[in-house]
Amino acid sequence: MFVFVNFWAYIAFSQFLLIWYANIPEETVWFMSRWRNGWEYVSVLLIIVHFAVPYFALLTQDSKMDPKRLKLMAVWILAAHVLDLYWLIMPTYSPQVTVGWMEILFPVLAVGLVIVALGWQMKRWNLVPVKDPKLQRALDFRL
């Protein structure tokens, strides 16, 4: 997760830097629409939520070994990615920041479908390898 947070920041900043440095009007319009009409707040929030918080939360070795923190950060990063997708798509369709029922319903529906599909598969197949001689040793493993 730590690597992917850094990779996301790297590719997002690299894309911004290349477009800014080239200064081609056809391409700068894309970023300019995200710095007007309230979208600038979403842009700054995205940097904080999708990079700064996960970066510092996953920086230490202890945080990478804590399953509770890893679960929390996984959910946090997924929610931040939903915000990132909203920031990428919505300024094209709406000049102002708007949140309607569709923006909330679709992620809830997608998560619900994944949970239903996962639950259905979990009933059909074993989650743990049956009769594996090395299973107990693997379950007891700690770094």
Q: What is the pLDDT of residues 93-103, one digit of tens each?
A: 888 887 888 88
In contact, 64 and 58? CB cutoff 8 Å: yes
Q: What is the mean pLDDT of residues 80-105?
A: 87
- Is residue 57 within 8 Å of 95, Cβ to Cβ? no
Query: Would 51 be classed as within a structural domain?
Result: yes
Residue 85 above 80 pLDDT?
A: yes
Determine the Cα–Cα distance for residues 50 and 81; give it in Å rounded to an integer: 7
Q: Total domain count for the chain?
A: 1
Helix H or strand E segment including 140: none
Q: In this structure, is residue 50 part of a structural domain? A: yes
Residue 48 lies in a domain: yes
Predicted confidence band of residue 8 (pLDDT cuts 50, 70, 90) = very high
Residues 61 and 16: their CA atoms lie apart, in Å, by: 31
Range of the domain at 6: 2-99
In a domain, 115, yes or no: no
pLDDT band at 6 (very low <50, low <70, confident <90, very high): very high
pLDDT at 25: 85
Integer Cα distance of 94 and 105 in angstroms: 18
> What per-residue confidence (pLDDT) applies to 101?
87
Q: Would 108 be classed as within a structural domain? A: no
Report if residue 105 sits inside a domain: no
In a domain, 24, yes or no: yes
In this structure, is residue 113 part of a structural domain? no
